[in-house]
Structure 1
Amino acid sequence: MAENIHQHHHHAPSNFGMVSAPHGPETGDDHVHMVNAPLKADEERIMRQMIYPDDTHTPEGVYWADLPLGKQLKFNAAVDNAEAKQELSLIGSMIKKDPLSPISWYFRNAVLPGAGLGLEGYVLFSIGNLTPLFSAAWPACWKTYEECNQTWVEAVQYLEVAGIIVGQILVGYLGDGIGRRWGLIQDAVIMFLGLLMLVASWGTTLNGWVICYCWALFFYGIGVGGEYPMTATAAMENATGSGNLSTRDDRLHRGRKVTMAFLMQGWGQFFNQVILILLLLIFHHGSGNPPYSKLSAQWTFRISFALPAIGTLWLVYYRTYKMPLASKALNAAKKKSSVTGYDIQSLKLTTTHFGGRLIATAGAWFCNDVFFYGNKLFQSQFIAVLSPNTKSIMTNWLWNLVNVGVSLCGYYLASLLIDNKFVGRKRMQQLGFLMDFVLFVIPAFHYHYYAKEKAHIAAFQAMYFLSSFFNQFGPNSTTFLVAAEVFPTPVRASAHGFSAAVGKLGALLAAILYNYIDTQTKFYVVPWFGLAGMLVTWLFLPDTTGLDLKEQERRFTYIRAGREHEYHGIAVHPHHLSLWERIRGAGKHYNPELDYQTKVDDLRAEWTEKQAEKMAAEESLDHHADDEYPLDVHEYFAKTTNVPGMTEKKHPGSSAASEETDNEKPLPQA
């Protein structure tokens, strides 16, 4: 919950060379002479805290993934248990100080980052909930197509998905080009205007209203599509930070932060269903039974869209005035590469070096959306089995509410386990795909047995609910996370938007296909996408659970410089590479000892650059506390690096600075 900035100092397991490697920074001969034998011991003592943090390395400096399986489990369990104990203690102290403080913490760390997805989930899934109401109130338009064009009625689903695809590609590109903050603001503005269009949708004829409704959904969908890459990248980079150094919070809780934002989509669905039920009861004279008047349907659907419009307008304000640093990590990455605007070179390098990952994220998302939207489209057939011959919309909505509740359980369990290194992203995604395959393939080949014989309907019900649970616990949550996590910062939003757009093609396929096949055939078709998703995940997706995201950025820096073979760190550890990448030899340069040497040089170069920037800006170290590098690391680099002007300046908190100001300390006040 709160980042633990304390790191234990570890001693080097072996005698690492101290002379700068050929691929290290150009620090000149002074550095070689300064790093003498006495300072060598200082380096081993001081640098270990940054290079081998105690949540990823043993006291001997061994990375957790290099341990035998039994020791891996023991080490990671000890780290997780200690972290859980600390978090529970912190929660206890928060409650003791203020019983409502955990609620405000959750609001800041989950509700606010995921507010856009929550509002999007509310509106997006209300379309499927409202269609039965429209069919009952205006059967000549929505059911028999006597007054409305069937193509336009069916276009409600298609144009909504088309708008989302446009938004995912467009805003993903803009989010990397002009920044996360403007992408987030733009999404909120588009969704707000789209909601106004939905509330005010009208026509001189019923068909005219349907056309207006369709295009309002398309416009709203553009904002919805942009929420995917923007929310994922903003939540991830907020967890990671924009500095050069990694954080414990990033390594242990990055996945949880992103999925806590994502699960707000489930709450959006939940509140939409609750509000629709309440509105129908209010405007239909306390009854949910047919027949439904046109007036009650009008009030119900228009007010259901007006309520999220208020929340979306507030979101426009919040993102405009309360999120000034949303693009900080992207700006830092661009500055490091001397890039303004869109980083075309990074995009080319990503397709060259991480093409397999694009197949994994886009392919798995496609397979998942056939399931995810297929599950929603199966809903009417499922309810027809549970409540045969019912004509009440309220019955359908109540069963849907139960299904959303089951889905929320899956969302939360995913958030709880996604950073556990034994479970993790990749295994969760494979398990979710496998279970969805099994839970759909069984009724496919025994449909009459489960759906038509009353004695077995409870089993059919259990399989349907479990498919919702495992879809949220597995691929629906993990695809959202990994599509941002496995790509470099300069093109993270673009890669996520592309993957999400390919996923929505899966939703479009399901929406079109289901219009032409019967219920049992749907069960025959859908399971194989679960099996395909599991295989794509197994072959192409790397497991980034527990991997320091800054280390991935460091690897990409080497790739960008054309020196990929000189990178030896954990980002190319076989555990963190896909099978496809290992077959292609991506992990052959992994070498912890060489990596120690190059990382010291990399840290020194970054520190030197930072000091030079401060002095160029005429910012005195006496008055500019270094909030990133620990004091002993700062002092070690100051002693062993030739930075002009450093000898005259003291870092706050150093012994010299303390001696100089000891006699000038103000007296304590009475």
Structure 2
Amino acid sequence: MASDNNLAVLEALDSARTQWYHVKAIVIAGMGFFTDAYDLFCITAVSKLLGRLYYYDPAKGGPGKLPHPINNLVTGVALFGTLSGQLVFGWLGDKLGRKKVYGITLIVMVFCAICSGLSFGSTSGSVMGTLCFFRFWLGFGIGGDYPLSATIMSEYANKKTRGAFIAAVFAMQGVGIIFAGLVSMILSRVFLDLYPAPTFNENPIMSTQPEADYLWRIVLMFGALPALLTYYWRMKMPETGRYTAIIEGNAKQAAADMGRVLDIELDVESDKLSQFKAANQYTLLSHEFFRRHGSHLIGTMTTWFLLDIAFYSQNLTQKDIFPAMGLTKTAKEVNAIREVFETSRAMFVVALLGTFPGYWFTVIFIEKIGRFVIQLIGFFMMSIFMLILGVKYDYLRDTNKFLFALLYGLTFFFANFGPNSTTFVLPAELFPTRVRSTCHALSAASGKAGAMIGAFVVQTYTLDGNVKKIKAAIIALAFTNMLGFCFTFLVPETKGRSLEEISGEDGGGGLGGGQNETQMAATRSIAMQGNGRFEG
């Protein structure tokens, strides 16, 4: 039975038992995130190879290396594309519908992943320029997946398991990172067996196999495969019932679509829908939105921004962590393909032991202890571990390598069993249907702005390897996490509530304030019509 103020189709979605369509929605949305993570992180495995292939200068006496500005562009240009894509597709998701633009993101990713591997040019600079061009647009498609996948999953899920389902979609990012390392490791191993070569110390010229030019291209193009396999199923998904009913105002279509999905018969409730819509006409830039949800939006944007500064800055210690774990050697001790193998193996091990478990701990515990508590714990523990790493950096690096690696791994674990997951979940739950995708996009784009600061500003500051600078940077990141801890208090707990109850779309006060006059009038009108019912 629907509540007095909510629509039967929405009540049915909230109270539906977990069934096959939930699992299918997680897989369809999750495969997008698997592809996103693979495409974003596979470049790390082959970036050193690009330097050895295209920038070897015998006069410098060492293996070829991407100049720092070019390295930043190659590895980070996708972040700029992702930020842009989040804003554009997030807005389109509210204006045109979630499904209408959902498939476009995959098409962009497939096309640009293939074109990235086919990057061409007559000079080193032109090849890198072509690569950066296509990686920007690859990031653009990836960016669209953030708000659309989160919004679709939140609007399909029931209220008891919604957080776990959204977190499970995001957890596929961890699987994608693992596969980025695994695929690169397997392919480089195959190439290494086919094309053995001396180390750089033994023969500088012969240490970079010409065939390695195929290796990095295959690694990048592989990212098109999972996106291509997912496209058909994305197109088969119906528009979410919440968008069809609340935004399009098509009660009949919403009842038909969701009735077919849930295998039950639903009331159409056209008259009740018009009253429901009347209570929720305010826009993103209205005074009413900022009164009810302004602090929520500030909370989701600032926490994601602060998290990603720290999260994307952690690479600054990798050059010391990987050798400490015995996973990599210096570039002069290996040939080009062997270096790819060792780098990708290190990525795989860190992702498997540190990154991956944190994602799934969030899936398991998010409905038990809540988003708010997980985010607070994550920020706090990251602060503690980073503070220890910063204060004792040189001691840990030189004297206690096991503890050094352990603290590094725990920082990643509590990032993912913490704000890296919850900052994705909360914006998909807190805001009204009319602006849900846009608000998630604004929050995610703030995160990518933080990622750019971490990847470019923080890492550039420590580029010379000065220990004092590295220690200062890590300590500063610990305080950045504490700021994230503080800003978390702007975000309320959403566990166990329907999306309409959270946002106030059902005519109640929501989590951000009381009813306005329009909502109170609509609530009285809805109440007079009696209870909506559905059978199943």
What TM bracket, shorter-length normalisation? Answer: 0.7 to 0.9
1:495 equivalent in structure 2 = 439
1:556 equivalent in structure 2 = 505
- Whole-angstrom distance in 2 between the partners of 1:470 and 1:289: 41
Q: Post-superposition shift, 1:295?
A: 3.1
Q: Is the Cα contact below 8 Å between 1:148 and 1:206 reproduced in 2?
A: no
Equivalent residue for 1:449, pick from 370, 384, 395: 395
Q: Is the Cα contact below 8 Å between 2:48 and 2:65 reproduced in 1?
A: no
Q: TM-score, normalised by structure 2?
A: 0.80
Q: Is the Cα contact below 8 Å between 1:343 and 1:491 reproduced in 2?
A: no
Closer, same or farther in 2 for the Cα pair 1:290/1:180, shift >3 Å? Answer: farther
Specify the SS of the correspondent of 2:223.
helix
- Whole-angstrom distance in 1 between the partners of 2:130 and 2:530: 55
Closer, same or farther in 2 for the Cα pair 1:194/1:165, shift >3 Å? Answer: same
CA distances 1:161-193 after superposition (whole Å, capped 9, x unpaired): 111110010000001000101221111111111
Equivalent residue for 2:242, pick from 326, 329, 354: 329
Residue 529 of structure 2 is aligned to residue 605 of structure 1:
yes
1:117 equivalent in structure 2 = 33
Residue 168 of structure 2 is aligned to residue 260 of structure 1:
yes
Which residue type is aligned with residue 360 of structure 1? Answer: G
Greater alpha carbon shift after TM alignment, 131-140 vs 498-507: 131-140
Residue 318 of structure 2 is aligned to residue 405 of structure 1:
no
Q: Is the Cα contact below 8 Å between 2:161 and 2:367 reproduced in 1?
A: yes
Q: How does 1:261-660 map to 2 (within 5 A)?
A: 261-285=169-193, 290-291=199-200, 293-320=208-235, 322-323=236-237, 325-334=238-247, 335=249, 336=273, 345-348=283-286, 349-387=288-326, 390-391=330-331, 392=334, 393=339, 394-406=341-353, 407-420=355-368, 423-453=369-399, 456-513=400-457, 514-517=459-462, 518=466, 519-538=470-489, 540-553=490-503, 555-556=504-505, 558=507, 567=508, 571-572=510-511, 586=513, 602=526, 605=529, 629-630=534-535
Which residue type is aligned with residue 460 of structure 2? Answer: N
- Whole-angstrom distance in 1 between the partners of 2:111 and 2:482: 40
Q: Is the Cα contact below 8 Å between 1:364 and 1:537 reproduced in 2?
A: yes
Closer, same or farther in 2 for the Cα pair 1:301/1:347, shift >3 Å? Answer: same
- Whole-angstrom distance in 2 between the partners of 1:531 and 1:405: 27
Q: Is the Cα contact below 8 Å between 1:138 and 1:294 reproduced in 2?
A: no
Residue 139 of structure 2 is aligned to residue 215 of structure 1:
no
Q: Post-superposition shift, 1:373?
A: 1.4
- Whole-angstrom distance in 2 between the partners of 1:451 and 1:150: 24
Which residue type is aligned with residue 283 of structure 2? Answer: Q
Residue 90 of structure 2 is aligned to residue 168 of structure 1:
no
Aligned-pair RMSD on alpha carbons? 3.7
Identity between Structure 1 and Structure 2 (%): 25
Greater alpha carbon shift after TM alignment, 378-387 vs 154-163: 378-387
CA distances 1:379-421 after superposition (whole Å, capped 9, x unpaired): 223214334854352333323212111211111110011111x
- Whole-angstrom distance in 2 between the partners of 1:237 and 1:347: 23
Q: Post-superposition shift, 1:226?
A: 0.6
- Whole-angstrom distance in 1 between the partners of 2:319 and 2:66: 23
CA distances 1:407-437 after superposition (whole Å, capped 9, x unpaired): 11111110011111xx100000010000100
CA distances 1:561-581 after superposition (whole Å, capped 9, x unpaired): xxxxxx46xx34xxxxxxxx6
Q: Post-superposition shift, 1:528?
A: 1.3
- Whole-angstrom distance in 1 between the partners of 2:197 and 2:317: 22
Closer, same or farther in 2 for the Cα pair 1:317/1:377, shift >3 Å? Answer: farther
Q: Post-superposition shift, 1:148?
A: 7.4
Q: Post-superposition shift, 1:315?
A: 2.6
- Whole-angstrom distance in 1 between the partners of 2:387 and 2:274: 50
CA distances 1:609-655 after superposition (whole Å, capped 9, x unpaired): xxxxxxxxxxxxxxxxxxx5249xxxxxxxxxxxxxxxxxxxxxxxx
Q: Is the Cα contact below 8 Å between 1:284 and 1:296 reproduced in 2?
A: no
- Whole-angstrom distance in 2 between the partners of 1:167 and 1:112: 19
Closer, same or farther in 2 for the Cα pair 1:200/1:417, shift >3 Å? Answer: same
- Whole-angstrom distance in 2 between the partners of 1:210 and 1:174: 31
Closer, same or farther in 2 for the Cα pair 1:512/1:304, shift >3 Å? Answer: same
Q: Post-superposition shift, 1:370?
A: 1.4
Q: Is the Cα contact below 8 Å between 2:51 and 2:64 reproduced in 1?
A: no
Structure 2: runs of 5+ lacking an equivalent: 201-206, 250-272
Q: Post-superposition shift, 1:261?
A: 1.0
Closer, same or farther in 2 for the Cα pair 1:520/1:346, shift >3 Å? Answer: closer
Q: Post-superposition shift, 1:306?
A: 2.5
- Whole-angstrom distance in 2 between the partners of 1:549 and 1:108: 21
Closer, same or farther in 2 for the Cα pair 1:367/1:116, shift >3 Å? Answer: same
- Whole-angstrom distance in 2 between the partners of 1:201 and 1:116: 23
- Whole-angstrom distance in 2 between the partners of 1:605 and 1:484: 31
Which residue type is aligned with residue 373 of structure 2? Answer: R
CA distances 1:585-627 after superposition (whole Å, capped 9, x unpaired): x3799xxxxx9xx98973663767xxxxxxxxxxxxxxxxxxx
Bigger CA radius of gyration: 1
- Whole-angstrom distance in 2 between the partners of 1:449 and 1:399: 22
CA distances 1:6-49 after superposition (whole Å, capped 9, x unpaired): x9x9xxxxxxxxxxxxxx99xxxxxxxxxxxxxxxxxxxxx9x9
Closer, same or farther in 2 for the Cα pair 1:549/1:290, shift >3 Å? Answer: farther
Q: Post-superposition shift, 1:312?
A: 1.9
Q: Is the Cα contact below 8 Å between 1:280 and 1:296 reproduced in 2?
A: no
1:667 equivalent in structure 2 = none
Specify the SS of the correspondent of 1:140.
coil
- Whole-angstrom distance in 2 between the partners of 1:160 and 1:473: 25
Q: Is the Cα contact below 8 Å between 1:187 and 1:223 reproduced in 2?
A: yes
- Whole-angstrom distance in 2 between the partners of 1:604 and 1:260: 40
Q: TM-score, normalised by structure 1?
A: 0.65
Which residue type is aligned with residue 418 of structure 2? Answer: G
Q: Is the Cα contact below 8 Å between 1:283 and 1:299 reproduced in 2?
A: no
Q: Post-superposition shift, 1:208?
A: 0.5
Q: Post-superposition shift, 1:361?
A: 0.5
Which residue type is aligned with residue 357 of structure 2? Answer: C
CA distances 1:99-122 after superposition (whole Å, capped 9, x unpaired): xxxxx8896253222111100101
Structure 1: runs of 5+ lacking an equivalent: 10-23, 26-46, 57-82, 91-103, 240-249, 559-566, 573-580, 590-594, 609-627, 632-670
Closer, same or farther in 2 for the Cα pair 1:294/1:602, shift >3 Å? Answer: farther
Specify the SS of the correspondent of 1:418.
helix
1:561 equivalent in structure 2 = none
Specify the SS of the correspondent of 1:506.
helix
- Whole-angstrom distance in 2 between the partners of 1:281 and 1:433: 38
Residue 106 of structure 2 is aligned to residue 188 of structure 1:
yes
Specify the SS of the correspondent of 1:171.
helix
- Whole-angstrom distance in 2 between the partners of 1:107 and 1:199: 33
Q: Post-superposition shift, 1:347?
A: 4.7
Closer, same or farther in 2 for the Cα pair 1:396/1:149, shift >3 Å? Answer: closer
Closer, same or farther in 2 for the Cα pair 1:106/1:605, shift >3 Å? Answer: closer
Q: Is the Cα contact below 8 Å between 1:488 and 1:556 reproduced in 2?
A: yes
